Structure 1
């Protein structure tokens, strides 16, 4: 077992990906430099919490399992008890390295005051959450992908299911009359409403609006963690050269933001072809491919609580789809993740889009006790 963000440990950390996914036609290889930089000393998270990198290696030095542990006391107020997180979980199909890995993670978190452990998830909103349980094919940008044995490994290490998360992929077709009818009522109810796309000339300001709005309106949702602007901005500015104003939408009433819809292109359609390399041809795929993507991943769709029973959610969704489809030919929208317990939302999506136009993937987040040994 090795810990820390030394060059050697991070090399083993990233090398494990190739051990697990070599030959997998659906896996999207990350950029090694991006991973190592994110786990280095310049990570904005280290200013507000503790983080450690764990790698289990065999006697010959080959990597077998890995994870990143996170702890910040600020998260306790949102989880009811001191809770540590683990993310970036990968492992060969063997119980022993996973037991060693998670025992070390548990002890590290317990030493910092954590009572519970939850994961895979990190305090960063840009990181994937959970492990894939059901749903074939290439992952959408920012969503988990893993071998089918991961759920059994985590359960075998003494963790139990905390929440199942769903990603609903909608094939866009039809006019969605019910959605538009409710949206029309909301527009008549709020004649002072102003709807706009993302202002690329003031992109940073709109990202700040997103962070503030999310942190104020999402506190009651499962898994809520406050967004940190520096962390969100580090990701957002990578999309700036390829972003279109219509990928996002902001609704305002009397100058107050009351609803937002934010999406990004499914960049994995391009990243998959790049195989984690910019050179010699990866940069060409990046430059030519991003603008041609016709699928969006919905990162955030939300309405200020005072407006949630007014039809504002339907108006935001209707306006957002109109702009994205009519101006950029978007054919699919990937909504998620959302907790499985939000049955009302999932039912609404199927009723509006038609069940024949909706496919679902399932992901799972696990929970256990901190401290050493199986629980």
Structure 2
């Protein structure tokens, strides 16, 4: 009789070891584990770009990232047999709750993000715990993944796994799509990035004619940003952005603290000739930003700047060579949207940026996005310059 009893005890011990525990992150050790997990789970993916650990820690730290001033965030770790095997953030943004429901956010809408899981069982347990926490906070609906804000890394990558993402775009395991959908999530919106892989060749002749026509117009002036007045220039761009995107799906306005924080964080990426402000009748009407793709460097750094990578990165940012560029943000004032003026300004700015990126930095590729799948104006602009979709990110929704 001793042998069956022993086998029963062994099975019970293995069952305890295999049990998945989901615990709130508490203290520095848990936060370290939360940050480190992504490097371990994605180490075998040649197209995954390790984020800088310092940046991830700052993103998650109240008092450093102003998102936390108007949001409540709870981080969770999954453990099995004492090993960390998954992570997730559950959070809601008070500013998002104030937005009109027809624009995607609105009352009762919470989020989860920062999602990593070793297998589907872990994924299911993490998502269930995030949903439970959101219900406890009074949320009735989830939009996910969003990590942490719609202005940071929204959406789950579902197309474009065969190449690294450009700067400030996410990358995840292909299996995650099925794991999320198996938990009852349906697509709310797709976000696209568009690739321009022949920058040196220029755009179609029609675009050249539109640009030339704009240059002859006495109403239009397009100029480079003035880095000697960086704060003022940043304020102009963010003011246009808040107005231009105010009716967009998923929009959440920037606070004054976030404007200053974002401008400071992004300043090292701002190259004069790659960022444009357009004026119509003497008033700021549109802007377009393009940043060198720092991910081409970061993919080699393993998420660490010290002891020597910080110097290499700073040196490269001073005058990046053979650098590809991403256009992450563009905005046109609402009164010009859905008009010829909007597309004319866009074509002029992107052509000037193309000339600069190719002529000064040897750019071969460019990327625009993300762009909402139903943003007809931006989709039309991307198609007119022969850009093609190279990555799709999907935001899911579920009623709680």
Q: Same fold (TM over 0.5)?
A: yes
Give the aligned partner of residue 366 of structure 1.
Answer: 396
Distance 2:377 2:342 in 1: 16
* 1:178 equivalent in structure 2: 206
**Residue 289 of structure 1: aligned partner:** 316
Q: Distance in 2 between matches of 1:111 and 1:164?
A: 28
Q: How does 1:135-214 map to 2 (within 5 A)?
A: 135=160, 136-171=162-197, 172=199, 173-188=201-216, 191-214=218-241
Structure 2 partner of 1:53: 75
Deviation at 1:343, TM superposition (A): 5.1
Q: Distance in 2 between matches of 1:321 and 1:5?
A: 50
Distance 1:242 1:118 in 2: 30
Partner SS for 1:231: helix
Secondary structure, counterpart of 1:50 in structure 2: strand
Determine the structure 2 residue equivalent to 1:373. Answer: none
The answer to which of 113-122 and 308-317 deviates more is 308-317
- Equivalent-residue separation in structure 2 for 1:323 and 1:363 (angstroms): 25
What's the CA shift string for 1:312-350, capped at 9, x where partnerless? 333333234324424424332211111223356435423
Conserved? CA contact 2:66–2:261, under 8 Å: no
**2:143 paired residue number:** 118
Does 1:261 pair with 2:288? Answer: yes
Match of 2:110 among 61, 81, 84: 84
Assess if the C-alpha contact under 8 Å between 1:274 and 1:282 holds in 2: yes
Cα distance in 2 for partners of 1:237, 1:84 equals 28
- Distance change >3 Å, CA 294–CA 117, structure 1 → 2: same
Deviation at 1:261, TM superposition (A): 0.5
| Counterparts in 2 of 1:224 and 1:23: CA distance versus 1, 3 Å | same
Q: Which residue of 11, 17, 21 maps to 2:38?
A: 17
Q: Provide the C-alpha distance between the structure 2 equivalents of 1:364 and 1:346, rounded to a whole number of angstroms.
A: 17
After TM superposition, list the pairs within 5 Å mapping 1:89-108 onto structure 2: 89-94=115-120, 96-108=121-133
CA distance 1:209–1:125, shift in 2 (3 Å): farther
> Could you tell me the TM-score, scaled by structure 1's length?
0.89
Aligned to 2:373: 340
Q: 12-21 or 169-178: which moved more?
A: 169-178
After TM superposition, give the deviation of residue 235 of structure 1 in Å: 4.3
Sort the Cα spacing of 1:160 and 1:252 in 2 relative to 1 into closer, same or farther, 3 A: same
Cα RMSD of the aligned pairs, angstroms, is: 2.3
SS of alignment partner, residue 368 of structure 1: strand
Q: Summarize deviations over 1:200-258 as a string: whole Å, max 9, x none.
A: 11212222222221111112222212123433543442442452112211112344211
Residue number among 290, 294, 303 corresponding to 2:332 in the alignment = 303
SS at match of 2:303: coil
- Whether 2:55 is the aligned partner of 1:34: answer yes
Q: Give, in whole Å, the separation in 2 of the partners of 1:48 and 1:82.
A: 15
Corresponding residue number in structure 2 for 1:273: 300
**Could you say which structure has the larger radius of gyration?**
2
Deviating beyond 4 angstroms after TM superposition, the runs of 4 or more aligned structure 1 residues are: 186-189
Deviation at 1:175, TM superposition (A): 4.4
**CA distance in 1: counterparts of 2:62 and 2:270, whole angstroms:** 29
CA distance in 2, matches of 1:148, 1:233: 36
Give the equivalent residue in structure 2 for 1:330. Answer: 363
Distance 1:184 1:122, change over 3 A: same
Equivalent in the alignment of 2:152:
127
Between the aligned partners of 2:80 and 2:89, the Cα distance in structure 1 is: 19
Output the CA distance in 1 between the equivalents of 2:40 and 2:68. Answer: 29
CA distance in 2, matches of 1:14, 1:185: 51
Give the secondary structure class of the aligned counterpart of 1:274. coil
Please list every run of 5 or more consecutive structure 1 residues that lacks an aligned counterpart in the other structure.
Answer: 371-375
1:5 Cα deviation after fit: 5.3
Report if the CA contact (8 A) 1:56-1:66 is conserved: yes
In structure 2, the residue corresponding to 1:334 is in which secondary structure? strand
> Could you tell me how far apart the structure 2 residues matched to 1:332 and 1:255 are?
33
Distance, in Å, in 2 between the alignment partners of 1:125 and 1:246 is: 27
